[in-house]
Structure 1
Amino acid sequence: MLDFHHSWPYERVMNDIYFEECPFCHTSPVMISIKKEAIAGAFEGIKTHIIMPCCHEKIVIESMDSDYIWAAQALR
């Protein structure tokens, strides 16, 4: 089980994924560019990464559920 400090909430609107706030630069809101195949893989526990469009920080997603992404690094 991953530590809650490594999680970040997201919202799904239609086919887009949004963070209410960037965990690094605190820009709000942020639309995440991630493919449907990568989302499906993350739900199965396959690692993928995203680059934040606001500050260009990288998040390695280890897992995803319906409310949170679970990252390799602490986000909180």
Structure 2
Amino acid sequence: MLDFHHSWPYERVAGDLYFEECPFCHQSPVLLTIKKEAVEGAFEGIKTHIVMPCCHEKIVIESMDSDYIWAAQTLR
């Protein structure tokens, strides 16, 4: 199991995923550019990645649940 420091909360609004605040540059809110197939894979534990549109930092997603993205790197 991943450490809580590797997690970041997200919100789902009308099928889109948002971070309330970017964990890197702290811009708010941030629309995540991730495909539906990648989200489904992340829920199954398949690694995927997203590039933050605000600062172009990359997050390697280890898994997702209904509230958090669990990343390979520390986000908190």
Question: What is the TM-score when the length of structure 2 is the normalising length?
Answer: 0.99
User: Once the 2 structures are TM-superposed, how far is the Cα of residue 10 of structure 1 from its aligned partner?
Assistant: 0.1
Q: Which amino acid is the alignment partner of residue 52 of structure 1? A: M
Q: Do residues 15 (structure 1) and 15 (structure 2) align?
A: yes
Match of 2:74 in 1: 74
Take 2:65 and 2:11, find their aligned partners in 1: how far apart are those partners? 11
Take 2:33 and 2:72, find their aligned partners in 1: how far apart are those partners? 18
RMSD (CA atoms)? 0.3
Q: Do residues 30 (structure 1) and 27 (structure 2) align?
A: no
Match of 1:2 in 2: 2
Aligned residue pair count? 76
Match of 2:47 in 1: 47
Give CA-to-partner distance per residue, 1:17-59, whole Å, 9 cap, x none. Answer: 0000000000000000000000000000000000000000000
Q: Which runs of 5+ in 1 are unaligned?
A: none
User: Once the 2 structures are TM-superposed, how far is the Cα of residue 15 of structure 1 from its aligned partner?
Assistant: 1.0
Work out the percentage of aligned pairs sharing the same amino acid: 86
Take 1:66 and 1:10, find their aligned partners in 2: how far apart are those partners? 9
